[in-house]
Each structure stands twice: as structure tokens, then as C-alpha cells.
Amino acid sequence: MREWKGSIEKKSHGVTKLLQQVGSLKKETTKLHEKLQQSQQEVKTLLTEKSKEALELSEKNLRLQVEVERLKEELAHKNEELVKEREALTDDAANSYMAGFEDTVA
């Protein structure tokens, strides 16, 4: 009987230890779950911020591409004007030379 009583006390003590360990594990699991939720929220926040930044950069890139195309067109137009001016100046120089030559011949 004493042996049986001692065995029961030992098992009871073991069960108590196990219950304490389970309680401790539950607390630790709860803390880890809270940390995980907090980390997930931080990741969502960062992802949202980075998504906004990427969208803003994409929009800025688009605006800059439009500006570059506008400047290319403007440059092409200026180049056409310069070619016309150069031709006009060349014609003026040639006409002046020709008029001077004609005056000399006359």
C-alpha cells in the first residue's frame, strides 16, 4: 500500500510538473504568436510603403519619359530651323558674292 501510495504521489508530482510545463509553453506560444502578428503587421506596413514608393517612381518615370519626348521633338524642330537658317545664310552669301562678281564684271 505504501508502495502504491508513493507511486501515486510520484505520478501526481510528475503530472503537476507537466502541467506547469504546458502552462509555460502556452505563455511562450502566446508571446510568440503576438510577436508574429506584430511582425506581420510591420511587414504589411513596409510593403504598403514600398508599393506606394514604387508607384510614385513609376509615375515620375512616365512623366520624365513624356518630358524627354517633348524635348526631343523641340530639339528636332530647332535643328530644322537651324538647317533652314544655314541654307538662308549660305544663299545670302552666295547672292552677295554673285552680285559683287557681276558688279566687277560690269
pLDDT at 30: 95
Interatomic CA distance for residues 19 and 27, integer angstroms: 12
In the structure, what pLDDT confidence band is assigned to residue 9 with cuts at 50, 70 and 90?
Answer: confident
Given a cut of 90, whether residue 22 has pLDDT beyond it is no
Interatomic CA distance for residues 93 and 99, integer angstroms: 10
Sign, Cα dihedral of 50, 56, 59, 61: negative
**24-74 confidence digits (pLDDT tens):** 999 999 999 999 999 999 999 999 999 999 999 999 999 999 999 999 999
